[in-house]
Structure 1
């Protein structure tokens, strides 16, 4: 499907290569207010701000993952945990008049607008933890291997079902990039811990 962020049909607000996305229009209002300070018994001013989501949208489509030797169906709509990574696009102003309207001030202050988009694109690497099961007979592509070199893989699908000690999820990126980001502080301190233990052993000897 084609995505027009916030309904805007401007070319730079239109995407046609996404399998999953989440966009949002967030507005931050800043204003100054006058208040009475009971301790000093004087009137003072202070700056306040409020950030609120005005509009948003999301979508997910089942897709095929391919490792170069064959493909497998991924039932993206069955996953509760999908990490699409950092933003791939953002804007501070409306694209054109087809976009949704600007938010209005609530407190008479100045407004800052931000539209952002996170997504999984076709061709993006993905780390998938899932249950692998056979597809229903009616969903398996017809034809022999000569016409469909990945037919054997097409008989399988990945679904977002949890299992003991394993939570089903999809994360943007490959296995190395996803797992390396989860290194604990203990693992980073590992060499220092070994040095301390080694020094203690030498002292005991």
Structure 2
């Protein structure tokens, strides 16, 4: 599929089905749970709760309204050799059989380039701020393809509305006091607030016109381009101090180390059960400045100044039944046992980040660069975009500074509409309030 054949306006309703085998598998599991719940519900009202869970599971596996089509565009637009190379570098790897240590790189990346982008061999590192080639914008720049708008309603809405209906009917038939009504109302309220702020960010991305770097003004421009290195270079991230978990060419990162801790609990009747959950033990984040280049020019962006950073899907995850070394394993088990009587069964390290060559969306504040910095790089100020830089620590009225991995096309392509983010939770909250009259 060609990008010109794609209608970027999602419209009122769009059928959005999974586009890869993992999505289809999870969707099928959700469908099976839903059908099983409805079958059980013919004789047992508890089946409605099971069916509602299945519908919510199907909703969570539904992609954004444009995500599947954009995936098709990516498959046809990107060089097959490049796609094959990425496929070979992704997937599950067994790092240590005896220690049960594995690493996994996601096989699909919704935040990656959808249209071809220049490779490192074509970058002009002698003139990082100058235009590239004929000075036209990158193929995926909004000035060339426009701004996508998510569909108002998708199958996500259908699944959620059906699930909410089943939850309300099920709760109304079993509730004996106000507790279920309070829980449903609070969940709806929390989701409404979260959805409201998320919808504001989506609306900001849609409404803000994208500037070209060569003509970026001092103020709060929206910029879309490719991550390229500054003169000082970039970062090599060593996750949790382990040299076996090293990733290079990073300009922004966030990693976490988690333990799967299990505890045996006993209820008032003397029944014992094991409760397990992931607990974050350590985490770290950081970054360095980079050049955002959109084809018309480059501009310096200060990564760690941004208060809102969305790296999208994780880059790599390491899992193991044991810690990376025997000493760390003994220490982890001892600390978990002393602090809460927990048993550590699994470990995992997850890395999120922004790398050289990635697409990036930035809405920040541009300020003049210090003269000392310009002199250090040997810049004469001829290019206006070379004497300003982007910061993300100061919002403006009606503008929230943000940095997202991915272009505007990929970020909005997987987003949901204001109706799905806000109205659906409000319907759930109103339904919860209505249950007070039935208690």
TM-score range, shorter chain: 0.7 to 0.9
Superposition deviation, residue 183 in structure 1: 3.3
Residues in 2 aligned to 1:95 and 1:27: alpha-carbon distance in whole angstroms: 9
Aligned with 1:119 (options 334, 337, 353): 353
Please give the secondary structure, in 2, of the residue aligned with 1:132.
Answer: strand
Residues 1:178 and 2:411 aligned together: yes
Superposition deviation, residue 108 in structure 1: 5.1
Superposition deviation, residue 154 in structure 1: 1.3
Residues 1:33 and 2:265 aligned together: yes
Change (3 A) 1:108 1:134: closer
The corresponding residue for 1:49 is 276
Query: C-alpha offsets along residues 39-69 of structure 1, whole Å, 9 cap, x if unaligned?
Result: xxxx322221243211221112111111122
Superposition deviation, residue 29 in structure 1: 1.4
Superposition deviation, residue 109 in structure 1: 3.4
Change (3 A) 1:100 1:76: farther
Q: Which moved more, 1:99-108 or 1:176-185?
A: 99-108
TM-score, normalised with respect to structure 2: 0.37
Aligned with 2:397 (options 157, 164, 168): 164
Between the two proteins, the alignment pairs up a number of residues equal to: 176
RMSD: 2.7
> Structure 1 runs of 4+ off > 6 angstroms?
none
Residues 1:129 and 2:363 aligned together: yes
Superposition deviation, residue 187 in structure 1: 7.8
The corresponding residue for 1:84 is 311
Larger Rg: 1
Change (3 A) 1:53 1:100: farther
- Unaligned 5+ residue runs, structure 1? 38-42, 189-205
Residues in 2 aligned to 1:186 and 1:95: alpha-carbon distance in whole angstroms: 44
The corresponding residue for 2:378 is 142
TM-score, normalised with respect to structure 1: 0.75
Residues in 2 aligned to 1:49 and 1:115: alpha-carbon distance in whole angstroms: 18
Higher helix share: 2
- Unaligned 5+ residue runs, structure 2? 1-234, 422-439
Superposition deviation, residue 100 in structure 1: 8.1
Higher strand share: 1
Query: C-alpha offsets along residues 129-154 of structure 1, whole Å, 9 cap, x if unaligned?
Result: 11122212222232569xxxx94421
Residues in 2 aligned to 1:84 and 1:110: alpha-carbon distance in whole angstroms: 29
